[in-house]
Amino acid sequence: MSWTQWFIFLLILQIIHGLGTWKLYIKAGRKPWEAFVPVYNAVILMKIISRPWWWVILMFLPIVNLIMIPAAWVETARAFGKDTKLDALLCIVTLGFYLYYLNYVAGVNYVEKRKLTPKTSTGEWITSILFAIVAATIVHTYFFQPFVIPSSSLEKSLLVGDFLIVSKIHYGPRLPMTTVGAPMVHDTIPKLGTKSYLFNDHFEERNTSWMNKLQLPYFRFPGFEKIERNDIVVFGQPADTLVDMNKFTPDRNYYKPIDKKTNLVKRCVGIPGDTLEVRNGIVYINGKQNKLPNRAKVQFSYDIEFANITANSMYELSEKVKPILKKYDITDGIGYDNQRETFIIQATQEAAKKAVVHPNIASITFHGEDEGIRDSRVFPHDLKHNWNYNFFGPIWIPKAGATINLDMDNISIYKRAIGEYEGHNVVTRGNQIFIDNKPATSYTFKQDYYWMMGDNRHNSIDARAWGFVPYDHVIGKPVFIWMSIDGINDGLKNWSIRWDRVFTTVSGTGERTSYLIPFIILVLGITFFNKWRKKKKAK
């Protein structure tokens, strides 16, 4: 729904609330009209049920309000003497319409200065758990979100098994667009494996289904910095049609809402207005080679030949050479190219130069596609652009307010952005382009777009596969590694903690510095200080 439709919907809800509670307001010593005034009625209700005013804010926050509104129903019933478990259940099961019964039928009286604490220990536990979920959901949605590096696309800059804290306040937190969903989870409920939100993800029904009418329009609160070139960014995968990011063969395509698309982390190598090109795996921006931060470690694919090593299977060979490669910090596994009949590794240029001198390694040679050889997996998936992962572009990245001339040579590059991300109908008929059934030779973009790539240049599914990332898909900026586990992709059979990465910053210059010891000292200091203060007060 649009903001106007949501406004009308909320007005209807206010009328429903007023009709179901105005007599209760009178019994509580208030005026009947106060039950009908939007927002103000919620403030007065908080006074009636003896709850703090900031509950009003929580009742209007998406997802959080799924807990707070039922809590307000139950507290309203309790304020008028209906405080049994059955009363609470009736409030929730009837979606609050139990208050109509209290308002018009039941002879209830207002209970002044009622006891707010739960009567039983079970009630205390439930209350504590609910408000812990509320607090955690607010932090998770608007401030900081945990994220685990799932793939090696940023190896060696960020490693598989790095546990990150992602800041949403840097670029500005998004208001959730999906209004009905489970708190504290993303697109699926753990263990159950079922969808965690209410949305019809069939392509044919996504614009007509009543469930999808509950979506809020996109809105982002102001941040304190913009996305800069070479920032590492967490975002929703624009072309995501998977139920599970680890299952690449679903029974059909699933069209998720923006805020429920699979979360990815990549490096933003191109910002709005840039012209980007990849030459032999090296990124060029506006004709100049992109300068990466000194912590960035770029990897490429290399063909590798071994000497004096025999193995009966790929697994046996991998196990034999893994300790050799690990000496040179080559840890991204080993693959095999059936066409070239060669083994492939991912390594930095420095690591490849060092490893080739090992007596069990015969040769290491750069493995990259030649210029002009088209890779069908590469964006924009058009025969007019013979691009691959090693040679790509040049391509202009759209900027909000900027206008581009459209023709049959570049429409395939910008068609998805104009159609899918900006909501227009784009078709070509003969040699002519139509936007919303009108002939078009140019287009002015509504929002900024970014080019996200992995530092593992030849082993990363990134913007070269699915194109531009719209700003409304951006989630946040990774700022901190609080834990790092080696072996997480092996089912934790032979796992270990990378202590040198624990409590380190994601960005920065120079070698990583762990703040684990200072953090432990700080926690112990605060703990002992609180104990000392309590003893002093007791005396």
Just list the catalytic residues: 153, 266
- How many whole angstroms separate alpha carbon 59 and alpha carbon 52? 12
Give the single-character DSSP code of 509. S
- Burial classification of residue 278, based on how many CB atoms lie within 10 Å of its CB (0-12 exposed, 13-18 middle, 19 or more buried): buried
Give the single-character DSSP code of 513. -
- How many whole angstroms separate alpha carbon 172 and alpha carbon 184? 19
**Longest Cα pair distance anywhere in the chain, in angstroms?**
91
Q: How far is CA 129 from CA 136, 162, 256, 352, in A?
A: 10, 29, 30, 52
- How many whole angstroms separate alpha carbon 386 and alpha carbon 401? 29
Q: How far is CA 16 from CA 22, 36, 104, 180, in A?
A: 10, 9, 14, 20
Q: What is the distance of C-alpha 138 from the center of its chain? A: 15
Are 397 and 441 in contact by the 8 Å Cβ rule? The answer is no
Query: Left if phi > 0, otherwise alpha if psi is -120 to 50, otherwise beta: which for 513?
Result: beta
DSSP letters for 166-205: EESTTT-PBPPS--SB-TT-SSB-TTT--B-B-----GGG
Q: Spell out the SS3 assignment of 256-273.
A: CCHHHCCEEEEEEEECCC
- How many whole angstroms separate alpha carbon 240 and alpha carbon 257? 10
